[in-house]
Amino acid sequence: MDQPTVPQQAQQAAAPPPHVTNVYVTQTVSAPAYAVLPQQKNVALAAILGFCFGPLGMLYVGFTPALIMFVASLAALFLTFGFGLIITIPICAIWAATEANKQNAQFALAVQHPTQYAPPAPPQVFAPQPVAQPVPVVQQQPYEAPPESRLNS
């Protein structure tokens, strides 16, 4: 059997298959016809949770205000030996009620103008072009044993 040598195999592998063509794929995705609206918050419940649980109750209205009041409450706790909590706990209740009221106003605005709150359409996707990379050809030399390791016959 006549088998191709190593350089011929490398040349055959480097040639792109004849059926591969450049393909560009575009996908058009439009924005949905609906908007994802935030959930309405109960202002009284937010105030009660903020008063009863402090910064943990503020998690009902959002993470950032709760984190700010958690740090402030810890500072007041350690710097005033706990007496500062008399001020920070009512602040948590007032801030939670204010934040819930603000979120409800944003909800009402989103209901009046839903197209302004629709998520943006994703960008178009282009498939990469296939590129044929040349395969490096390595020529092998026949193996010869070093002269000192040859056996005398």
Q: 67-109 pLDDT, tens per residue? A: 999 999 999 999 998 899 999 999 999 999 999 999 998 888 8
Q: Which residues contact 136 (CB under 8 A, 6 or more apart)?
A: 10
Structure-model confidence comparison of residues 33 and 130, the more confident one: 130
Dist CA 75 CA 69 (whole Å): 10
With beta carbons less than 8 A apart as the criterion, state whether 13 and 135 touch.
yes
pLDDT of residue 100: 95
Kindly indicate the confidence band of residue 132, based on its pLDDT and cuts at 50, 70 and 90: low
Model confidence, pTM: 0.52
Structure-model confidence comparison of residues 48 and 117, the more confident one: 48
Section 3-27 average pLDDT: 54
Amino acid code (one letter) for 75: A
- For the cut 80, the answer to whether the pLDDT of residue 43 exceeds it is yes
- For the cut 70, the answer to whether the pLDDT of residue 23 exceeds it is no
